[in-house]
Amino acid sequence: AQSVTQPDIHITVSEGASLELRCNYSYGATPYLFWYVQSPGQGLQLLLKYFSGDTLVQGIKGFEAEFKRSQSSFNLRKPSVHWSDAAEYFCAVGGLNTGTASKLTFGTGTRLQVML
Amino acid sequence: DAGVIQSPRHEVTEMGQEVTLRCKPISGHNSLFWYRQTMMRGLELLIYFNNNVPIDDSGMPEDRFSAKMPNASFSTLKIQPSEPRDSAVYFCASSLGENTEAFFGQGTRLTVV
């Protein structure tokens, strides 16, 4: 069955430190890949997406993600975390068996805490 | 653009009552999605529409749930009768076609007591 795995439920980093959030998916072909961020009581904001082409994609707020086909991974990175980055981050996969990019299967999320 | 607009933001209702959640997608978007977020099940797709037509409702939990999209600028998700286990945050999202990214509303937090 198709699935999206975010192995880290909770991560704590110090402000200014680098960040990597992991995401793996299970699917036979290359799906559409997304990272969304959710602040408390808010909706989901798109950070970045991968549809095709360059496997390193840049997003908003200084985030980037790299698609690695051989590892079925799409990890999110940021070189220097700011206190305002504290939120929950969701990896999502679209197009699983549907060809519809925006019909999404979400991971369980990673809650990021930033220490000042 | 104002983004995807959902109303109400919060809804508290008694078990057995009918609940209607509303969504206005981004103007020009022709795909609309309803998601539900719970602690136990995370974010899950309930139903999606393309050009106002329901395409996949396999995520709708049971017959108590129904969704409509009478026109390109409005959709409703109705629960009748509501039950405490329906308590969740319900998100509406829209996209410009089926192969573009989805933009989410702020969500409706539903509490059924």
Q: What is the pLDDT of residues B33-57, one digit of tens each?
A: 999 999 999 999 999 999 999 999 9
Give the closest residue to A6 by CA, choosing from A19, A21, A18, A20.
Answer: A21
Q: Which of B43, B55, B107 sits opposite A106 (nearest CB)?
A: B43
Q: Which residues of B touch A103 (CB under 8 A)?
A: 33, 45, 48, 56, 98
**Cβ burial, residue A60 (10 Å; 0-12/13-18/19+):** exposed
pLDDT tens, position by position, A35-76: 999 998 889 999 999 988 899 999 999 999 999 999 999 999
Q: Which residues of A touch B43 (CB under 8 A)?
A: 90, 92, 104, 106, 109
At B70, phi and psi to the nearest 5? -70, -25
Task: Give CA–CA dist A20/A14, Å, rounded.
Answer: 13
* Per-residue confidence band for B110, with pLDDT thresholds at 50, 70 and 90: very high
